[in-house]
Structure 1
Amino acid sequence: MSFSAWMTAHYEEKGPVVWLAFLLELVAAITLFFMMMLTCADVFGRYFLDNAVDGATELTEMSLAILVFAEMPVITWRGGHVVVDILDRLLGGTVIKVLGLLSALLISTSLYFLAVRIHELAVRSNSRGEVTEFLQVPVGYIVDYIAVMSWATAALMISYGIYRLLFLSRD
């Protein structure tokens, strides 16, 4: 099976979004594998060699941030968030579409301004030279990554809302 056939079989997205989803899921998978190996090495070292991996907690925290924020745009585009549809039967289809677009607009706007603030904190952290306590890794780079992925999620959220309104919500 060729790689493009595998992509077509396993990803329902079309166009450049499929490559973005694949890339972000690859980052998440590699990060998760790294976390698994780090945890195994840390536990083995701690219990059998009386010597834990130095900085394992910091590496786990940074890896968790990378993992979560790599998957956030993909989950958003796929509509994988929790949705409560208690009132869908009572409200008409047009009202549901308008509320869906309004929620996508509200969420994407909130994520955009949240990312702006996170980026400001990253710039401040970089200018002050803040580093992690044990490994001395610059904190601002991780925080800036979170801001960029929040911007990507905001863009995909509004795109997803418009896409659903125009193409998926036809009665």
Structure 2
Amino acid sequence: MSLATLPAWVAEHYEEKGPVKWLAFFLESCAALVLFALMTLTCMDVIGRYFFGNAVNGAVELTEIGLAILVFAEMPIVTWRGGHVVVDLLDSFISNKLIRILGLFSAILMSGGLYFLAERMFYLGNRSLRREVVTEYLEIPVGYIVQYIALMSYATAVLMLTYGIYRIIKETRD
């Protein structure tokens, strides 16, 4: 695929509108690359361990970091697409208007929770960088990973809030 056909491919495969479409493409591409790297790392670790008697040094640390990158890269997109688990036990007993109000309230509540979580994580990331906290074997600075988690939590909070409002407005029009 050439770069000229990339916008057409993204437009065909992503239903999001505007900049969220490109954000989804970028984050899913990052997650896919990390997943491929984790698969390769695991294969090399197993091959090294069983055939050469020597595992890849730091494979556990790299796997932990890779999983953090993978999960938090997908979190904003899953949130925007409304892919979270929803329990709708009471929906048949209450009105559609109340369901929309509760949906908006939950979006605001989750966004607020993610925002405050991100604030705390960013603070902890800065503190880890000041204290020069590193991983045990590879000595990778932990603060950068924690700050990445905070940034993705900020993005998820914003997308949750905008998605909640978008969903309420869209359902009101339909």
TM over 0.5: yes
Calculate the TM-score normalised by the size of structure 1. Answer: 0.97
Select between 1-10 and 125-134 the one with higher mean Cα deviation.
1-10
Question: Using a 3 Å threshold, how does the CA distance of structure 1 residues 169 and 41 change in structure 2: closer, same or farther?
Answer: farther
The percent of aligned pairs where both chains have the same amino acid is 63
Q: Give how far 1:4 is off.
A: 2.2
| Matched ranges for 1:22-171 at <5 A | 22-171=25-174
- For 2:171 and 2:10, how far apart are their aligned partners in 1? 22
SS in 1 for 2:173: coil
Amino acid at match of 1:159: T
The CA deviation string for residues 36-84 of structure 1, in whole angstroms up to 9 with x for no partner, is 0000000000000001000000000000000000000000000000001
SS in 2 for 1:145: helix
> Which runs of 5 or more residues in structure 2 are unaligned?
none
> Which runs of 5 or more residues in structure 1 are unaligned?
none
Amino acid at match of 2:129: N
- For 1:110 and 1:87, how far apart are their aligned partners in 2? 24
Amino acid at match of 1:47: Y
Q: How many residues align?
A: 171
- For 2:77 and 2:101, how far apart are their aligned partners in 1? 23
Calculate the TM-score normalised by the size of structure 2. Answer: 0.96
- For 1:63 and 1:4, how far apart are their aligned partners in 2? 28
Q: Give how far 1:167 is off.
A: 1.6
Structure 1 runs (4+) greater than 3 angstroms displaced: 168-171
Q: Give how far 1:169 is off.
A: 4.3
SS in 2 for 1:137: coil
Amino acid at match of 1:124: R
